[in-house]
Structure 1
Amino acid sequence: MSGRETDPLTRLPGLDSCAVSDALDTLGLPGATTGIGPLWPVSEPVAGRVRTVLAGPPSSSGPARHIAAEAIGAAGAGDVLVIANGGRLDVSCWGGILTVAAAHRGISGVVVDGAMRDIAECEEHGFPVFGRAVVPVSARGRIVQVAMGGPIRVAGVDVADGDLVLADRSGVVFIPAADAGRVLDLADRIVERETAMAAAVGAGRPVTDVMHDSRFPTVEEADR
């Protein structure tokens, strides 16, 4: 859009997951997750490029690789690690040592489709973590890193390395890299429209009128 910053990674932190979810819905795109949220009370949104990790049971045919250790070394500053563990709540796939390493590397945060531990250390280092649960159970001998940098599935959403992610107190949304521009354009319009709607309600307009479906941006507007 004219006059707006075009870099998605610059624009994304200024939005919230609800606006992005609404934009994805309007465009008929998957990306919004359910059941994954902040595991300590983070105050700022986490936005960045996805670096994928797939966790799974250890195999007797190959060496065990600790979950995310290699991925931390390969990630760049501002990236967000996203670990797929099938939503398992019985074992952790992120902890304190990984947090120290990731923070030192400049990684913005981690999203886990599963559980993690050492939450106090994450908060102490100011490192944002999003997942389904906190448990004390170690990954050692239970799950390993199966792959990294490939396609994964997180809370029913297909996620690729290089996609965008926005995680905040409302939840976690993923944006396919190829659709980033139009999703963010529409999310911006949604925020503008809802700001105007809130102002109208504050000025005394009936909420039944203001909240009518015709007041929300459409896919046709997004295409324009």
Structure 2
Amino acid sequence: MSPEKIISALRGLDSCAVSDALDTLGLPGAVTALKPMWPVGTVVAGRVRTVTAAPKATAGPATHIATPLVAIAEPDDVVVIDNHGRTDVSCWGGLLAEAAVRRGVAGVIVDGACRDVQESEALKLPVFACTAVPVSARGRIVQAAMDERIQIAGVSVAPRDFVLADVNGVVFVAAGEAERVVGLARRIAEREARMAEAVRSGRDVQEVMHDSQFPAVTVEPR
């Protein structure tokens, strides 16, 4: 599958189905520390572009977090910022959101804090983070690297991996595993849809959730 087809397929799923597929395959990817900063009603999916933040160590000019990346971002990119889970200072705000929307960025994920949530919501730019704080990054943290492998809440994430985020949380999918994960997640979602229909038709939920009635989805041999 092309990257565009994988992104389209992910948008037809949810984070729960993809997380279950990762579990079945024994792969990491789901993170539990991040949540939508405003009531995002859609599934966000795209290719990962990474930024690493670090404390400002010296006086004088420094690279403002994410500005070089946002300046070259492409449609369906998702900006993923590793601020090591810090929640005492923001590393994403309203001006970056304005620029990101102009570039067609699909969403923003921050392992740390953001601010100007109302501006991101007005722009309809989905932002997922640990929390929101009013504290500026200026003079506190800077960009240390861009488009390098990072750790987000304990999950290793590489540039051009895939990510899906929704009301339930965030899941990362390694580029080399994406087609297999998407195929399995689709089968899992189809099984759960059949189970839900059975419950709606009046069948006992204990019966429906027994694997003898709806066998668990298993991994097909490669």
- Structure 2 length normalisation: TM-score? 0.94
Deviations 1:100-155 (A, max 9, x none): 00001111110000000011111111111000101000001111111010000001
Q: Which residue identity does 1:165 align to in structure 2?
A: V
Displaced runs of 4 or more, over 4 A? none
Structure 2 partner of 1:165: 163
Which consecutive residues of structure 1, in runs of 5 or more, have no partner in the other structure? none
Which residue in the other structure is 1:98 paired with? 96
The CA distance in 2 between the partners of 1:223 and 1:119, in whole Å, is 45
- Match in the other structure for 1:67: 65
- Look up the equivalent residue of 1:118 and give its one-letter code: D
Specify the alignment match of 1:179 in structure 2.
177
> Which of these residues, 48, 51, 68, is aligned with residue 50 of structure 1?
48
Match of 2:5 among 4, 7, 10: 7
Letter in structure 1 aligned against 2:168: S
- How far did 1:20 drift? 0.2
In structure 2, list runs of 5 or more residues that go unmatched.
Answer: none
Cα RMSD over matched residues? 1.8
TM-aligned CA deviation for residue 6 of structure 1: 8.5
- The whole-number CA distance in structure 2 between the counterparts of 1:196 and 1:206 is 14
Deviations 1:44-65 (A, max 9, x none): 1110000011111123399511
The answer for the alignment partner of 1:124 in structure 2 is: 122
> Within 1, Cα distance between the matches of 2:4 and 2:84?
34
Q: Which amino acid aligns with 1:174?
A: F
Percent of paired sites with the same residue: 59
Change in CA separation of 1:61 and 1:6 when aligned onto 2, cut-off 3 Å? closer
Q: How many residues align?
A: 219
1:188 aligns with 2:186: yes
